[in-house]
């Protein structure tokens, strides 16, 4: 009897093992969506007695939105104040430009670092490069430094960005900030919307004038959202219960996007100004069109997870 | 054969002859020799060798949704399978396919069943909560110490229409302390042809089933039994669906211990633990016309406990049963982009749903006099659902809870009386059922019937059924007539309704439907059956059924059988038996366009068969030849998914040997 039971137990185990393995859904997203949670040092350099450490998520800078922490340390020296940061891109012709950023860094007293962000609009290439111009005041003395940095291509499509000229002639930038790693779920979508402030007068000085590279966070606009799957076989599939992005107290724009399955999605946008006028974007068709690639808004960002 | 069929009908549904009452006297002591050698009951009037589906179809209260030639979905009292409790020896098994391609009945085979116990409405609450009733597929189990130690049977046959050949064998050994039952079966069929002789593509099937049961007498009045069924279906076509089945496998196991008590209030106590696991893989590689290639695997694993005590005191006999189970159902959906180098698209259609149930039920019979008795019972159950990836459900229902508890009460009572040759019964019932996992947590489950993607609604309330039923019968030596009627008023009846949000995910789909509850639905079922012995060897039988179901606002519910009839003649002469039958449905007057139905025309099918018992000593061998749909009528019924045509003329042959 015992032998029979043993035999049957073994038989059960053999027969009950699955033919196909179940999908590890969360691990599968991990394979194509890198998630960076920890701030690590990107680079450091000396300015007088001070050591300046630049930190970013994962210790790398990427095209798109980067949160930046500056640690300016020196033993037995007065604490630095008025820390400024200006990213400058120099192209192959030597022409310089910048990108959306916070110029004056916020001091986080508890953690002891200065906080800011940069939305890099391009990655570093052989012919063009980025420098971070970091200035600070310590003991009433102004320190100015420039540090060459490497901006890598964005490897997480969920942090993509786009730039465009609005119908009002202004230059705008929209960068996705969260979620880094979306799920098949209701996701809180965060984006930064920035604008280039055209300088009143062109600078003639040969030194870099921050006034020429002024960017600000766009205030009080609405970013209408219509997420869709562009894959032809998905027939312009969309999801319910999405919410347009509106500005929160942190100045960033927050909304809700529902992804009904993993894969390629397009976030179709329409940017409205405070008066509700369209700054950029077109309405996408609502029809279910199997076999036809979905039509995208003229203002959109593609994501993938 | 008529006797057998009548006996089966007797077991079915509301009936004056409650089988509990019969069981108490003689059967209790023999319970350990359960269903002894008995004659093979699994056959129909027309066919000696049938599939489980064909057998169930011979019951008046069961109709089928057919998506092809295999794995028909049984509808009890014209209600879909989530409303009935379908069990194997009281064990809960849950299909692993979101498209209902694998009802539980597809995981057994006729040669490992002894009978099928069908109960209507709340009377079927012994194994768990139900609205429509219960279908319990009862396994064969041989008694200890039979005179004939080794018995067995073998069936083989060929059906010409779909070139189906089958071989079924089973064997039993009955010792004084040890009993063994084993069965094995193979069925293989090619595409069938409809009435206009057109091949119905993707209607092939291929099934292997085997079972084993071992019992050991641990004491004078106690025994331990272990059972296992292994079923494998491969390359099964579903012509009405956009996908076929590549492979499904089920392993259904149990171990039970039974103790009989003598001269006591307690008659016996039977406790069983069980485990079953199912895997189901759909396949669309055989359908090159599909725009999107998809993988849709599903898994379902259940652990359970069942413990039953039978009691008897004076004129009261009772059964008290504890049921508990835990099921995990997982279904995945992966769509492949046209450019295969791109990322595939993935979602769970059942996002890892756990269902737990625990309930106590009782069923009692009280003899009021020699001619009348009362049956009554009730159950109280607790149902729990847990969605591991509840974020899927939150897309449509943002405040969807991850866990859900519900209490499922049920009550029923009926009074039965015999007056001379007449018998009557009236009964009533009340019961709840929890929404099924597809209804609660299903995610973009494509329904090819109405071509909508279905979204489960986690906020659904229990369906509450109020039912009344009655039977009246007359029996004489030469004839019998019986009428049965039942009426269900079902509160919060769950249906799919078009959602104003979301867009289809499956490319064939036209929109998204969400499960929601109608305020109430009404379902009425009526059946009249008669039999008459014209001559001592010539018997006539006739059945007529009618059903009507509305959504409470004069709309019709779908899949309700129109007026249908069956009439048959059976003639026996020495070793020969000849039978012929005519059956059909009237035009489907009360169809439901809202749920994707169209008006199905009337049809009529004529069948005939002849059998001959071979003059061989010691073994009982029967040869049968017959034809279904002799006139090769082209038809499809109200419940044929997507109006796929049924089989045209089918000549069948079979040989059955019992030894």
Q: Which of B211, B274, B346, B349 should we substitute to test contact with A (largest number of A Cβ atoms within 10 Å)? A: B346
In this complex, the residue of A20, A233, A262 whose CB is nearest that of residue B346 is A262
Residues A163 and A286 in one domain: yes
Examine residue A64 and state whether it is found in any structural domain, yes or no.
Answer: yes
pLDDT of residue A15: 65
**Exposure string for B589-627, b = 16+ CB within 10 A, e = fewer:** ebbbebbbbeebeebebbbbbebeeeeeeeeebbbbebb
Query: For chain A, what percentages of helix, strand and coil (3-state, to nearest 5) are there?
Result: 10, 45, 45
Q: Is the pLDDT of residue B15 over 70?
A: no
Q: Is the pLDDT of residue B528 over 70?
A: yes
pLDDT of residue B39: 42
The half-sphere exposure of B370 on its side-chain side, counting CA atoms within 13 A, is 2
* CB contacts, 8 Å: A22 with chain B: 297, 299, 330, 332
Residues A191 and A253 in one domain: yes
Are B95 and B277 a contacting pair, CB within 8 Å? no
Q: Pick from B356, B308, B301: which is nearest to B329 by CA? A: B301
Decide: helix, strand or coil at residue B458: coil
> What's the pLDDT band for A211 if we cut at 50, 70, 90?
confident
pLDDT of residue A47: 87
Q: Which of B503, B512, B514 should we substitute to test contact with A (largest number of A Cβ atoms within 10 Å)? A: B503
Distance in angstroms (rounded) separating the CA atoms of residues B131 and B429: 9
pLDDT of residue B38: 40
Q: How far is B329 from chain A (nearest CA, A)?
A: 12
Distance in angstroms (rounded) separating the CA atoms of residues B212 and B227: 6
Decide the pairing of beta strands A161-165 and A113-120: unpaired
> What's the pLDDT band for A75 if we cut at 50, 70, 90?
confident
Nearest CA in chain B to A14: B251
Distance in angstroms (rounded) separating the CA atoms of residues B49 and B187: 12
CB contact under 8 A, B504 and A12: no
pLDDT, tens digit, 9 for 90 and up, residues B16-38: 333 433 434 344 334 333 333 34
Examine residue A26 and state whether it is found in any structural domain, yes or no.
Answer: no
**Domain count within chain A:** 2
Distance in angstroms (rounded) separating the CA atoms of residues A213 and A205: 13
Residues A236 and A110 in one domain: no
Residues A126 and A189 in one domain: no
Q: How far is A185 from chain B (nearest CA, A)?
A: 5
Helices and strands counted in chain B (H then E): 6, 31
pLDDT of residue A248: 96
pLDDT of residue B264: 80
Decide the pairing of beta strands A39-47 and A50-57: antiparallel
Q: How far is B277 from chain A (nearest CA, A)?
A: 7
In this complex, the residue of B343, B391, B509 whose CB is nearest that of residue A183 is B391
Decide the pairing of beta strands A214-217 and B150-159: unpaired
CB contact under 8 A, A261 and B346: yes
Nearest CA in chain B to A287: B503
Examine residue A148 and state whether it is found in any structural domain, yes or no.
Answer: yes
Residues A288 and A190 in one domain: yes
Examine residue A20 and state whether it is found in any structural domain, yes or no.
Answer: no
CATH assignment of the domain containing A177? 2.60.40
pLDDT, tens digit, 9 for 90 and up, residues B551-571: 988 899 999 999 999 999 999
A interface with B, Cβ–Cβ < 8 A, is 1, 4-5, 8, 11-12, 15-16, 18-20, 22-23, 25, 28, 32, 183-186, 229, 231-241, 258, 260-264, 286, 288, 290-291, 304
Angle at B556 between CA B550 and CA B560, to 5 degrees: 90
In this complex, the residue of B216, B333, B337 whose CB is nearest that of residue A233 is B337
CB contact under 8 A, B345 and A261: yes
DSSP A234-285: GTT-B-SS-EEEEE-TTSSEEEEEE-SSSSEEEEEEEEE-TTS-EEE--PPP
Going from the C-alpha of A188 to that of each of A9, A281, B138, B333, the distances in angstroms are 48, 21, 52, 25
* CB contacts, 8 Å: B249 with chain A: 15, 19
Distance in angstroms (rounded) separating the CA atoms of residues B192 and B69: 8
Residues A283 and A183 in one domain: yes
- The residue-averaged pLDDT of A97-111 equals 93
Distance in angstroms (rounded) separating the CA atoms of residues B169 and B153: 6
ipTM value, please give it.
0.90
> What's the pLDDT band for A11 if we cut at 50, 70, 90?
low
pLDDT, tens digit, 9 for 90 and up, residues B614-653: 988 888 899 999 999 999 999 999 999 989 999 999 999 9
- The residue-averaged pLDDT of B483-488 equals 97
Q: How far is A62 from chain B (nearest CA, A)?
A: 23
Residues A195 and A91 in one domain: no
Residues A292 and A169 in one domain: yes
In this complex, the residue of B277, B344, B501 whose CB is nearest that of residue A263 is B344
**Domain count within chain B:** 1
Residues A116 and A182 in one domain: no
Examine residue A12 and state whether it is found in any structural domain, yes or no.
Answer: no
CB contact under 8 A, B343 and A239: no
Distance in angstroms (rounded) separating the CA atoms of residues B234 and B237: 9
* CB contacts, 8 Å: B212 with chain A: 8
CATH assignment of the domain containing B603? 2.40.170.20
In this complex, the residue of A22, A233, A288 whose CB is nearest that of residue B292 is A233
CB contact under 8 A, A22 and B216: no
Structural domain range at position B186: 2-658
Q: How far is B210 from chain A (nearest CA, A)?
A: 12
In this complex, the residue of B342, B391, B503 whose CB is nearest that of residue A184 is B391
pLDDT of residue A146: 93
CATH assignment of the domain containing A103? 2.60.40.640
Structural domain range at position A238: 157-200+209-304
Residues A180 and A148 in one domain: no
Query: What is the pLDDT of chain B when averaged over all its residues?
Result: 91
Placement of tokens 């894969």 in the chain: A263
pLDDT of residue B36: 36
pLDDT, tens digit, 9 for 90 and up, residues B381-423: 999 999 999 999 999 999 999 999 999 999 999 999 999 999 9
Are A128 and A90 a contacting pair, CB within 8 Å? yes
**Token digits of residue B237:** 């076509």
* CB contacts, 8 Å: B228 with chain A: 8, 11-12
pLDDT of residue B388: 96
Residues 6+ apart with CB under 8 A from B404: B384, B385, B386, B440, B458
Residues A116 and A162 in one domain: no
Examine residue A7 and state whether it is found in any structural domain, yes or no.
Answer: no
* CB contacts, 8 Å: B510 with chain A: 288
The DSSP H or E segment spanning A15 is helix A2-16
Examine residue A2 and state whether it is found in any structural domain, yes or no.
Answer: no
pLDDT, tens digit, 9 for 90 and up, residues B176-215: 999 999 999 999 999 999 999 999 999 999 999 999 999 9
pLDDT, tens digit, 9 for 90 and up, residues B357-368: 999 999 999 999
Are A261 and B345 a contacting pair, CB within 8 Å? yes
- The residue-averaged pLDDT of A257-284 equals 96
In this complex, the residue of B343, B394, B504 whose CB is nearest that of residue A288 is B504
CB contact under 8 A, A261 and B396: no
């Amino acid at each position: 009897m015992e032998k029979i039971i043993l035999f049957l137990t073994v038989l059960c185990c053999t027969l009950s093992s699955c033919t196909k393995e179940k999908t590890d859904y969360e691990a599968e997203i991990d394979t194509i969506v890198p998630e960076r949670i920890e701030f690590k040092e990107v680079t450091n350099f000396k300015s007088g007695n001070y050591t300046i450490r630049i930190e970013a998520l994962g210790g790398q800078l990427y095209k798109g939105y980067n949160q930046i922490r500056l640690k300016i340390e020196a033993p037995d020296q007065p604490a630095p104040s008025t820390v400024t940061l200006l990213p400058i891109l120099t192209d192959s012709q030597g022409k310089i430009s910048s990108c959306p950023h916070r110029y004056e860094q916020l001091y986080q007293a508890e953690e002891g670092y200065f906080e800011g962000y940069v939305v890099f609009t391009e990655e570093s290439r052989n012919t063009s490069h980025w420098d971070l111009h970091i200035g600070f005041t310590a003991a009433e003395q102004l320190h100015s430094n420039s540090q060459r940095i490497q901006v890598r291509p964005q490897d997480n499509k969920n942090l993509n960005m786009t730039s465009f000229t609005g119908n009002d002639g202004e230059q705008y930038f929209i960068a996705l900030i969260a979620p880094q790693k979306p799920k098949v779920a209701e996701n809180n979508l965060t984006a930064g919307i920035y604008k280039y402030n055209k300088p009143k007068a062109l600078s003639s000085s040969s030194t870099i004038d921050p006034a020429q590279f002024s960017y600000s966070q766009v205030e009080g606009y609405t970013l209408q959202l219509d997420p869709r799957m562009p894959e032809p076989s998905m027939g312009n599939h969309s999801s319910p219960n999405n919410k347009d992005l509106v500005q929160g107290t942190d100045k960033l724009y927050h909304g809700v996007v529902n992804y009904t399955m993993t894969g390629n999605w397009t976030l179709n946008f329409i940017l409205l100004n405070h008066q509700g006028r369209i700054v950029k974007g077109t309405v996408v068709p609502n029809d279910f069109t199997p076999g036809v690639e979905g039509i995208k808004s003229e203002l959109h960002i593609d994501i993938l997870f | 054969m008529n006797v057998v069929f009548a006996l089966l009908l007797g077991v079915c549904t509301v009936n004056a002859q409650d089988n509990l009452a019969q069981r108490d006297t003689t059967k209790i002591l023999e319970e350990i020799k359960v269903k002894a050698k008995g004659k093979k009951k699994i056959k129909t009037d027309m066919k000696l060798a049938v599939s489980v589906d064909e057998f169930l179809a011979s019951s008046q209260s069961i109709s089928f949704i057919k998506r092809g030639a295999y794995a028909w979905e049984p509808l009890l009292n014209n209600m879909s399978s989530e409303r009935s409790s379908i069990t194997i020896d009281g064990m809960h098994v849950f299909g692993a396919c979101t498209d209902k391609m694998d009802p539980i009945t597809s995981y057994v085979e006729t040669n490992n069943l002894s009978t099928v116990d069908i109960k209507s409405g709340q009377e079927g609450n012994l194994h768990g909560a139900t609205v429509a009733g219960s279908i319990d597929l009862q396994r064969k189990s041989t008694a200890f110490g039979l005179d004939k130690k080794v018995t067995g049977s073998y069936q083989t046959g060929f059906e010409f229409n779909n070139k189906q050949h089958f071989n079924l064998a089973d064997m039993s050994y009955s010792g004084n302390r040890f009993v063994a039952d084993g069965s094995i079966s193979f069925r293989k069929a090619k595409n069938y042809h409809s009435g206009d002789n057109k091949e119905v593509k993707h209607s092939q099937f291929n099934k292997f089933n085997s079972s084993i049961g071992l019992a050991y007498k641990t004491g004078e009045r106690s025994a331990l039994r272990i059972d296992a069924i292994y079923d494998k279906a491969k390359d099964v076509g579903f012509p009405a669906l956009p996908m076929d089945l590549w492979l499904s496998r089920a392993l259904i196991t149990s171990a039970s211990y039974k103790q009989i008590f003598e001269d006591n209030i307690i008659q016996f106590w039977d406790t069983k633990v069980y485990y079953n696991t199912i895997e189901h893989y759909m396949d669309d590689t055989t359908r090159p016309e599909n725009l999107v290639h998809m993988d849709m695997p599903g898994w379902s694993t259940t652990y359970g406990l069942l413990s039953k005590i039978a009691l008897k005191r004076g004129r009261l006999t009772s059964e008290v049963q504890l049921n508990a189970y835990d099921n995990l159902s997982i279904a995945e959906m992966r769509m492949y982009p046209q450019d295969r180098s791109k990322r595939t698209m993935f979602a769970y259609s059942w996002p890892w749903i756990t269902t737990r149930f625990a309930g106590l039920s009782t069923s009692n019979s009280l003899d009021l006099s020699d001619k009348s008795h009362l049956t009554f019972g009730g159950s109280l159950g607790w149902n729990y659902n847990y969605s591991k990836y509840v974020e899927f459900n939150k897309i449509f229902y943002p405040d969807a809870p991850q866990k859900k508890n519900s209490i499922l009460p049920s009550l029923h009572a009926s009074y039965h009386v015999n007056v001379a040759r007449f018998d009557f019964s009236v009964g009533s019932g009340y019961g709840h059922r929890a929404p099924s996992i597809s209804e609660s947590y299903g995610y973009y489950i494509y329904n090819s019937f109405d071509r909508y993607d279905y979204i489960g609604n986690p906020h659904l309330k229990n369906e509450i059924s109020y039912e009344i039923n009655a039977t009246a019968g007359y029996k004489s030596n030469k004839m019998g007539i019986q009428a049965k009627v039942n009426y269900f008023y079902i509160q919060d009846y769950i249906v799919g309704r078009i959602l104003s949000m979301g867009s289809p995910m499956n490319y064939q789909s036209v929109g998204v439907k969400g499960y929601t509850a109608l305020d109430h639905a009404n379902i009425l079922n009526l059946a009249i059956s008669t039999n008459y012995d014209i001559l001592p060897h010539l018997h006539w039988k006739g059945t007529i059924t009618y059903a009507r179901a509305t959504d409470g606002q004069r709309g019709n519910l779908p899949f309700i059988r129109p007026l249908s009839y069956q009439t048959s003649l059976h003639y026996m002469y020495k070793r020969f038996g000849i039978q012929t039958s005519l059956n059909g449905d009237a035009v489907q007057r009360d169809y439901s366009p809202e749920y994707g139905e169209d008006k199905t025309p009337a049809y009529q099918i004529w069948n005939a068969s002849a059998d001959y018992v071979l003059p061989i000593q010691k073994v009982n061998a029967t040869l049968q030849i017959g034809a279904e749909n002799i006139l090769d009528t082209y038809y499809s019924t109200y419940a044929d998914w997507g109006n796929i045509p049924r089989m045209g003329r089918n000549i069948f042959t079979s040989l059955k040997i019992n030894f």
